[in-house]
Amino acid sequence: MRAIVLTSMLMLSASLTAAQPIERIEVRVVDDTSGAPVPGAVVSIGDADDRGVVSVRVEATDFETHALDVAPGAPRPIVVRLRRRALRVDERVVVTAGRAREVLSDVPRAVSVVTRADLDARLPGTTPDALMDTAGVLVQKTNLGAGAPYVRGLVGNQILVLVDGVRLNNATYRFGPNQYLGTVDPDTLGAIEVVRGPGSVLYGSDAIGGVVNLVTRAPEFSNGGWTRALESRAGISAGAVEQRGRLGVSLASPTLAVRGGLSAHNTGDLRAGGSRGTLSPSGFGEAAGDLALAVRLSPAHLLTATLQAHHQDDVPRWDQVVQRGFSRYAFDPQTRQLASLRYTAQSLGWADAVAATASFQRTEERRRIQRAGSVTDTTERDRVRTFGLSVDIQKRLSPQLVLQGGGEAYADAVRSTRVDLDTRTGVGLNRRGLYPDGATAASTAVFARGVYTAGRLRAEDGTRYSSFRVSASDATFRDLDVTPSAWVGQTGASVRLVGQSLLFGSLAQSFRAPNIDDVSTLGRFDSGIEVPSAGLAPERGLTSELGIRARGRAVSATVVAFRTNLTDLIDRVRATYDGLPTFDGQPVFQKANVGEARVTGWESEVEWRPYPAVVVTAHATATRGQALTRNEPMRRIPPVNGGVALQWRPRTSTWAGLATRWAARQNRLSSGDLADHRISPTGTPAWITVDAFGAAPMGQRLQVTGGVRNLFDRLYRVHGSGIDAPGITAWLAVGFRP
């Protein structure tokens, strides 16, 4: 028997019998779900029997082995569809936790992973929706087009979001829930990795509560000749009259690979559960496009270019219209464009691996605001251009010691305007925007990390130095020039116990540097008017955690306990403007480093495979936050929450599942929660929902996926959200596979 490495199309020759001629067998190996070529597949061919039938065996990493018999004269080419093997949670490869590829079972951190298979099974409307079933994460929804993840009790600009390692957080990223995660198309994603806990040593500012890395689907090379694949999918949902579609294409050769596509998504007004009815206005539309090009310069050198564009139209805030007295309050439009160029090299002698990434990102946010009964229609527009550069170097100095190091630099330029239009006369008045027009922010950083392994013991230490500068020329307020800096470090260790069990612990510092939104905002918020504040210092965190990851033949489980002490927290305090405590009839506030707090909690997740085709997963998280300065609970601390899922995945393209999500009541509220119109004064009630979903093939090229969300039509709201969750919602998607 002989084995041949294969990616897409392979010619195999076999001697069928001594008297028969050599027959050429054409085999094409593709992913059963996407139809894309399977890289690195291995085809083994046996000897022909007396009838001339040849046995063929196809194997590939992360795919189930496929065996078939090929008779003389069988149709050519033979298309072999490999089904992805259902990896155990701890078998998945992650890159975010250590800024390098590692198997999850070896990572001494709390990490959650959402795979492409998970996304295909649930068909999330937005990327925030894709995180809703993730261990250790609860997603707040202020409107349908957005969503902000709570991780370890923190949210907004205290959570760092990356797209393929490039910062999505920019200099105007706001405190508290925000909408920026919604500007990433879920159809472009190959995985989402959530590192729960501090990540400032490797990733810098904002990574206090955690790091969310959105990993897009990379182009895949072939091992011989050109291959091409077309994929398409259309979906509908009955809950909010939702339609979505995706058309994608991929081309591949041994040295060049391309992947791209277009997506469109439109959703009507949300229908809440129970008897609440339709919440209007809440619907919106969006469109996205992406293109990725990979060039293999040599076996050790790779160049990848990526383009992404996302556009959302007229995304309303239902809570502001219904509860806050606005006739119009919408993000119209909310856009993001990203261009990046990444070079990677392996085995250079002086380094085992080198990666350099240059990026340009442009975001635009335009807010259309008009109070009920007012003749003034306000348009606020903020545009941010961000240039980024990062370098990573890894070197193994000995069998036991690996060193990592590198540096990053980011530069933001902000254009901010405001026009107040008198709807009676059609005359517009130009006023200062939310930020000073022309404000800039820049940061530079260097970091180093060492990992030492000896037998069952692994130890790691790391440090980072970051410097920042925020500058603005402000005709309304005095000019700003803020230059904070921060040193942070971390240390940790893990030890292998009996079998595959891993005991791990760490102590890590984290920080968030004040940005343009902190130091220069002039604008309204729920409780008043905020005016600029200079001289702010970075927020800081110190987190200790202890966890255990156990693995048996059929069960995997992880439990982590953590404690984070927060100091120099930036919060709004009462202030004056021109010596007066009010401005425009609203109380005046200003940000200051006034807060200290403590967050404690635990996280757990379990995976059980009682039978090869049956998978049961469960997770639960409990968080308690205390604002020490005010001697009251911290704002927006999520309640105890979790989920359970049961999936049946036989060795076919047919599968089915049931899942529940739940949250306990949260009535431990801060004064800020009590003043927040999105949270009831009596707290957020407990809730539980049930979803059903499944898939089945229709012939060789069509796959139907569908399900029902909130099966019992429960009326509920995620704590801190500005809109109720959807009621019972049936959805159906049809995908085309080449």
Cβ partners under 8 Å of residue 631, min gap 6: none
> Alpha-carbon distance 264 to 357, whole Å?
29
Query: Is residue 545 scored above 90 in pLDDT?
Result: yes
Q: What is the DSSP letter of 634?
A: P
Smallest CA-to-CA distance from 274 within 684, 717, 707, 731 is with: 717
Give the largest CA-CA distance in the chain.
103
Give pLDDT, residue 2.
Answer: 38
Q: What is the pLDDT of residue 95?
A: 86
Is the model more confident about 688 or about 582? 688
The whole-number pLDDT of residue 498 equals: 82
Identify the pLDDT of residue 528.
85
Tell me the pLDDT tens digit for each residue of 573-583: 888 888 889 88
Any domain includes 457: yes
Token pair 């929804």 is found at 141
- Which strands make up the sheet holding 41-45, listed edge to edge? 2-6, 41-45, 54-59, 66-70
In a domain, 426, yes or no: yes
pLDDT class for 1, splitting at 50, 70, 90?
very low
Q: State the residue for tokens 């170097």.
A: 393
Q: What is the mean pLDDT of residues 110-115?
A: 92
Could you say which DSSP state residue 272 is in? B
Please give the share of the chain, as a percent, with pLDDT higher than 70. Answer: 93
pLDDT in tens, 233-286: 888 887 668 899 999 999 999 999 999 999 999 999 999 999 999 999 999 999
pLDDT at 23 over 90: no
Contact 703, 31 (CB under 8 A): no
Question: Read out DSSP for 613-627?
Answer: TEEEEEEEEEEEEEE
The tally of CA atoms less than 13 A away on the side-chain side of residue 726 is 27
* 52 and 125 fall within a common domain: no
For 126-154, give the DSSP string: SHHHHTTT-TTEEEE-SSTT--EEEETTB
Q: What is the DSSP letter of 666?
A: B
Which residues fall within 8 angstroms of residue 315, CB to CB, at 6 or more apart?
A: 143, 144, 145, 146, 179, 182, 284, 330, 331, 332, 334
Which whole number is the average pLDDT over 111-121? Answer: 90
Say if strands 189-196 and 326-346 run parallel, antiparallel, or are unpaired.
unpaired
Task: Determine contact, residues 622/599, Cβ cutoff 8 Å.
Answer: no
Residues 442 and 343 in one domain: yes
Q: How far is CA 480 from CA 267, 437, 518, in A?
A: 42, 12, 12
With a cut of 50, say whether residue 17 has pLDDT above it.
no
Q: What is the pLDDT of residue 61?
A: 63
pLDDT at position 10 is 40
Where b means 16+ CB within 10 Å and e means fewer, 579-598 reads eeeebeeeebbbbbbebebe
In a domain, 318, yes or no: yes
Domain boundary among 82, 117, 150: 82
* Mean pLDDT, all residues of the chain: 89
Highest mean pLDDT among 227-231, 480-484, 496-500: 480-484
Same domain, 170 and 61: no
pLDDT digits (tens, 9 = 90+) for 628-672: 999 999 999 999 999 999 999 886 778 899 999 999 999 999 998
> Is residue 227 in a domain?
no
pLDDT at 320 over 90: yes
Least confident piece of the model among 90-104, 509-523, 601-615: 90-104
Cβ pair 295, 266 in contact under 8 A: no
Cα 717 to Cα 724: distance, rounded to the nearest angstrom = 5
Instruction: Give the residue-averaged pLDDT of 202-211.
Output: 96
Q: How far apart are CA 364 and CA 174, in angstroms?
A: 14
Instruction: Report the C-alpha gap between 151 and 180 in whole angstroms.
Output: 16
pLDDT band at residue 330, thresholds of 50, 70 and 90?
very high
Residue 608 has pLDDT above 50, yes or no: yes
* 310 and 423 assigned to the same domain: yes
Pair (246, 122) in one structural domain: no
Is the pLDDT at 295 greater than 70, yes or no? yes
Rg of the chain taking only CA atoms, in angstroms = 27
Count Cβ atoms below 10 Å from residue 253 Cβ, excluding itself: 17
Task: Determine the Cα–Cα distance for residues 82 and 232; give it in Å rounded to an integer.
Answer: 19
Q: SS3 sequence, 24-46?
A: EEEEEEEECCCCCECCCEEEEEC
pLDDT value of residue 738: 64
Per-residue pLDDT at 54: 82
- pLDDT score at 534: 81
Return all residues near 569 (Cβ < 8 A) that are at least 6 apart: 539, 593, 594, 595, 596, 597, 629
Sheet holding 159-163, edge to edge: 110-115, 189-196, 210-216, 159-163, 166-167
| 113, 76: one domain | no
> Do both 179 and 308 map to the same domain?
no
Instruction: Count structural domains, the chain.
Output: 3
pLDDT of 86 > 70? The answer is no
Cα of first residue to Cα of last residue in the chain, in angstroms, is 30
Query: Are 121 and 7 in a shared domain?
Result: no
> In the predicted model, is pLDDT for residue 7 greater than 60?
no
Q: Given this model, what pLDDT does residue 640 score?
A: 98
What mean pLDDT is predicted for residues 113-134? 91
Tell whether 161 and 43 lie within a shared domain.
no
Q: How far is CA 729 from CA 242, 608, 706, in A?
A: 10, 28, 11
Domain boundary among 82, 100, 123: 82
Query: Is residue 224 situated within a structural domain?
Result: no
pLDDT beyond 80 at 507: yes
36 pLDDT band, cuts 50/70/90, is low
Q: Which stretch of 420-434, 474-488, 710-724 has the lowest confidence by average pLDDT? A: 474-488
Inside any domain, residue 481? yes
187-201 pLDDT, tens digit per residue, is: 999 999 999 999 999
Q: Is residue 380 part of a domain?
A: yes
Asked if 158 and 209 touch (Cβ cutoff 8 Å), the reply is yes
What confidence tier does 726 reach under pLDDT thresholds 50, 70, 90? very high
Indicate whether 401 and 435 sit together in one domain. Answer: yes
Alpha helices in 630-702 (DSSP H): 671-675
- Domain of residue 154 covers 89-213
Q: Decide if pLDDT at 57 tops 50.
A: yes
Cα–Cα distance, 587 to 132 (Å, whole number): 36
Distance CA 621, CA 136 (A): 6
Section 365-383 average pLDDT: 96
Residue 548 pLDDT more than 70? yes
Structure tokens at 329: 């309050």
**Mean predicted confidence (pLDDT) in 211-223:** 92
Give me the pLDDT at residue 44, please: 78
Residue 207 pLDDT more than 60?
yes
pLDDT bin (cut points 50, 70, 90) of residue 605 is very high
Q: Is residue 234 part of a domain?
A: no
Residue 440 phi/psi, 5-degree rounding, is -130, 155
Q: Check which CATH number belongs to the domain holding 95 and give it.
A: 2.170.130.10
What pLDDT score was predicted for residue 397?
95
Q: Are residues 568 and 687 in the same domain?
A: yes
**Count of Cβ atoms closer than 10 Å to residue 684 Cβ:** 23
pLDDT of residue 449: 97
Over residues 181-191, the mean pLDDT reads: 95
The alpha carbon dihedral of 127, 133, 136, 137 has a sign of positive
The whole-angstrom separation of Cα 581 and Cα 268 is 42
Neighbours of 567 (CB within 10 A): 17
653 near 628, Cβ under 8 Å?
Answer: no
Q: What pLDDT is recorded for position 291?
A: 97
731 with 601, same domain?
yes
Quick check: 312 and 127 in contact, CB under 8 A?
A: no
Domain boundary residue among 39, 56, 82? Answer: 82
Q: How many residues does the chain have?
A: 738
pLDDT number for residue 269: 95
| CA–CA distances in Å: residue 77 to residues 15, 24, 25, 55, 80 | 18, 10, 7, 16, 9
pLDDT of residue 258: 96
Distance CA 289, CA 267 (A): 18
Query: Which candidate, 640, 662, 648, places its Cα nearest to that of 616?
Result: 648
Q: Output the DSSP codes for 338-383.
A: EEEEEEEEE--SS-SEEEEEEEEEEEEEEEEEEETT-SEEEEEEEE
- 396 vs 86, which has greater pLDDT? 396
**CB neighbourhood size of 69 (10 A):** 12
pLDDT at 84: 63
Calculate mean pLDDT across residues 709-724.
Answer: 96
Is the pLDDT confidence value at 16 over 60?
no
Strands 22-31 and 78-82: parallel
pLDDT score, position 523: 82
CA distance 187 to 190: 8
pLDDT in tens, 132-168: 999 999 999 989 999 999 999 999 999 999 999 999 9
pLDDT at 3: 38
Q: Is 722 helix (H, G, I), strand (E, B) or coil?
A: coil
